[in-house]
Amino acid sequence: MPRYLPEPAYRHGTPEKTAVLLINLGTPEEPTAPAVRRYLKEFLSDPRVVEIPRPIWWLILNGIILRVRPRKSAEKYASIWTDEGSPLKVHVERQAKLLRGFLGQAGHQLLVDYAMRYGQPSIAATLARLKAAGCTRILLLPLYPQYAASTSATAIDVACSWLQSVRNQPELRSVRSFADHPGYIAALAASVREHWASSGQPGDSYRLIMSFHGLPRYTLDKGDPYHCECQKSGRLLAEALDLDAQRYQVCFQSRFGRAEWLQPYTAPTLRALGKQGVQRVDVICPGFPADCLETLEEIAIEGRAEFLRGGGKEFHYLPCLNDRDDWIRALADIAETQLRGWPTHAPQQAELELSALRAKALGAPS
């Protein structure tokens, strides 16, 4: 017999609510080797993330990776940690708060929360909390502009798994991706123009590097659309900035292991551009709506070192969209599009009281 989670207490006349749940990848709770080990074990145990046969991968993960990598990764996390905590968690929490306020100003009465696929707050726990708060309709909005099975799909997997444990299920909808959303592209373009205005217009010896998170090459061969959606976002951003093909380049970062990943790789590209005599590069990470280890350490610190080591002169890292007003407006537009048809305004008190009286008249318990 299936075992379901206990249902929260219910009273007739309680208004049904609608919620938006932002979902991001996750982060260790602190920049220490034990915390990073827990995080990496959950992350790298996901079969959506690593598609190597389980017995072989279990030996590699537990026998090598989790013995060596946590300490090195913890040092990197410590270099970008803030007084408020993990940059990723800080930014996502702010995005949820700002989105709640923006949707409220637009007349919507919604709950807006956030969760992490790996680590805390977990997707299952947050969904349970929203359900206990009276939410019968929940929109899942993974903060991955470009769809990948290892990001968007695994987040939805966990939400659906939680749904299987619930007796009285809420309605769920999900945003698949927003790689070509006009507001998203416009916010990226505006951030680049603002950077040019403050740091100077780029000269002839210039490249705008658009660095996306990498994936193994086999994901493209097996039909994952991620590579194509990254290329589309890059092309649309370049068009919005009036950049020709010689002035920008789409690259892929965060390669892990020895297998071939999507190319070109960001770090070697930066080093090669320096050797070729390119004087200035600006690097933006369109696939990351919030700054994190992969942007603040891998690009802003390691990427800078690669370019300067190659002979480049001027390196600029452009922050992620984070809590920009234009990005929050775009996020609200993405949510509103998917919320259509769902009530997003609280019913009047008289209507609730009438509903409760009708239920009691038909024999419902008080």
pLDDT tens column, 69-100: 999 999 999 999 999 999 999 999 999 999 99
Residue 253: other Cβ atoms inside 10 A: 26
**198: in domain:** yes
Residues 164 and 301 in one domain: no
Residues 217 and 103 in one domain: no
Cβ atoms of 66 and 299 closer than 8 Å? no
**290: in domain:** yes
Token pair 């709770």 is found at: 29
The Cα–Cα gap between 87 and 91 comes to 6
Identify the pLDDT of residue 120. 97
Give yes or no for a cis peptide into 264 (omega within 30° of 0): yes
Identify the pLDDT of residue 357. 46
For residue 89, give every residue at least 6 positions away whose Cβ sits within 8 Å of its Cβ, in sequence order, or none: 27, 116
Residues 24 and 171 in one domain: yes
Identify the pLDDT of residue 364. 53
Domain that holds residue 64: 17-178+325-347
The Cα–Cα gap between 133 and 92 comes to 21
Cβ atoms of 129 and 170 closer than 8 Å? no
Identify the pLDDT of residue 8. 86
AA identity, residue 261: W
**From the first residue on, what is the mean pLDDT of each consecutive set of 10 residues in the chain (366 residues)?**
82 88 98 98 97 94 96 97 97 98 95 98 98 96 98 98 96 98 98 97 94 97 97 98 96 92 98 97 98 98 98 98 98 97 72 46 54
For residue 153, give every residue at least 6 positions away whose Cβ sits within 8 Å of its Cβ, in sequence order, or none: 48, 147
Residues 169 and 305 in one domain: no
The Cα–Cα gap between 210 and 188 comes to 11
Residues 24 and 128 in one domain: yes
**147: in domain:** yes
Identify the pLDDT of residue 3. 84
Q: What angle do CA 264, 155, 77 make, to 5 degrees?
A: 60
Residues 252 and 333 in one domain: no
257: left (phi over 0), alpha (psi -120 to 50) or beta: left
The Cα–Cα gap between 304 and 347 comes to 54
Residues 253 and 330 in one domain: no
**356: in domain:** no
Residues 207 and 267 in one domain: yes
Identify the pLDDT of residue 258. 85
- Choose among 174, 111, 102: nearest CA to 324: 102
Residues 56 and 167 in one domain: yes
Identify the pLDDT of residue 256. 87
Residues 274 and 238 in one domain: yes
**7: in domain:** no
Q: What CATH number does residue 280 fall under?
A: 3.40.50.1400
Residues 148 and 190 in one domain: no
**6: in domain:** no
**365: in domain:** no
What is the H or E stretch that residue 330 is in? helix 325-339
To the question of whether residue 294 is assigned a binding role by annotation, the answer is: yes
Number of domains in the chain: 2
For residue 44, give every residue at least 6 positions away whose Cβ sits within 8 Å of its Cβ, in sequence order, or none: 50, 61, 65
Residues 132 and 248 in one domain: no
To the question of whether residue 213 is assigned a binding role by annotation, the answer is: yes
